[in-house]
Amino acid sequence: MHTQRIVVGYDGSIEARDAVDWAAAAAQRSGAGLHVLYAYQLAWPGAAYDGPVTDLVAEAQRHADRLVADVVDHVRRRGTGVDVTGSAVHAAPAPTLLDAAADLLVVGNRGGGGLTNLLIGSVSLQVATHARTPVVVVRGRHDATDGPVVVGVDGSASSDAALGVALDEARSRGTGVVAVRAYVPPAVTALPYSVIETTERQVLEASIAGWQEKYPSVAIVPLLGNGRAAQVLIGASRTAQLVVVGSRGHGGFAGLLLGSVGQQLIHHAECPVLIVHPPAAT
């Protein structure tokens, strides 16, 4: 994945600060520029407010500018050498992030406006669902520097793109890749389960064939999981630095922008999740 510009959504929350830290580390590894973007919407304070609307708008912008300036300074103080900028705009957060000219979008798992019982904020979900560039939802063990990069593979174009991104990420981190294929054996079958498992393993090995030659410095470990893909990948996320999945696999409906596996991961994974969209059709 060739990354020149990373855009991270920010709103002053703890989760957003974690996302900025993750994005800054990614920018340091890749040499990309980092832009912190705070898009906010102004909530009317109620009938008790009797001041000029222009004053209210101006104060909201000053507050947003201060938040962005503080977090940009935070990144610079870490001494990573990352070229970081920031901006605050009065606009709807999700569309603004989606329109940002980014090679990689990064969001936290829940923002300042989120209810504490929600697993992921609405802005993060909209961005992960509708983006046409890779998106990272930062959650769980966001600062982990040990463990592999885990990637879901199923032979689809989407998972093939995800495998390439996972290998790039692993190479930049100096770690290996665990390529996971999950399957649910039929309850009733005329074939022995050992035959089904052997067939599934062959499909997994075919999915990763040829990649080792392209990435000789990255160890690729195939892992065949018995169970639903989301649950197998969530289990693997407990010891991973990052989980990478395609936006849609073979099991998805064509009209869905984000498959069920991706949706479950961004709600339940125990490390950051990178959603990769398949290459555009030509």
What CATH number is associated with residue 172?
3.40.50.12370
One-letter amino acid of 242: L
Domain of 160 in residue numbering reads as 149-276
Is residue 222 situated within a structural domain?
A: yes
What average pLDDT does range 223-244 have in this prediction? 95
What average pLDDT does range 227-237 have in this prediction? 95
Give the end of a domain, one of 108, 138, 168.
138
pLDDT reading at 157 higher than 90: no
CA dihedral (251, 254, 258, 259) in degrees, to 10, reads: -10
Residues 195, 71, single domain; the answer is no
One-letter amino acid of 269: A
Residues 182, 156, single domain; the answer is yes
Q: Which residue has the higher pLDDT, 235 or 121?
A: 235
**Number of C-beta neighbours around residue 185 at 10 A:** 12
- Cβ-based neighbours of 123, under 8 Å, separated by 6 or more: 9, 93, 94, 97, 107, 111, 113
Q: Are 260 and 250 in contact (CB under 8 A)?
A: no
Residue 169: helix, strand or coil by DSSP? helix
Is residue 53 situated within a structural domain?
A: yes
What average pLDDT does the chain have? Answer: 87
| pLDDT for 117 | 38
Task: Note the pLDDT tens digit of each residue in 45-94.
Answer: 665 566 677 788 889 999 999 999 999 999 999 988 999 999 999 999 99
Residue 19: helix, strand or coil by DSSP? helix
Q: Are 90 and 60 in contact (CB under 8 A)?
A: yes
Q: Rounded to whole angstroms, how far apart are CA atoms 23 and 34?
A: 7
Task: Note the pLDDT tens digit of each residue in 142-154.
Answer: 888 899 999 999 8
Is residue 282 situated within a structural domain?
A: no
Domain count, the chain: 2
| pLDDT for 176 | 98
Residues 41, 80, single domain; the answer is yes
Q: Which helix (H) or strand (E) covers residue 235, if one does? A: helix 229-236
Is residue 281 situated within a structural domain?
A: no
pLDDT reading at 220 higher than 90: yes
Quote the pTM value: 0.88
Residues 92, 64, single domain; the answer is yes
Q: Rounded to whole angstroms, how far apart are CA atoms 35 and 83?
A: 8
Give the end of a domain, one of 96, 112, 138.
138
- Cβ-based neighbours of 56, under 8 Å, separated by 6 or more: 42, 45, 49
| pLDDT for 235 | 96
| pLDDT for 260 | 84
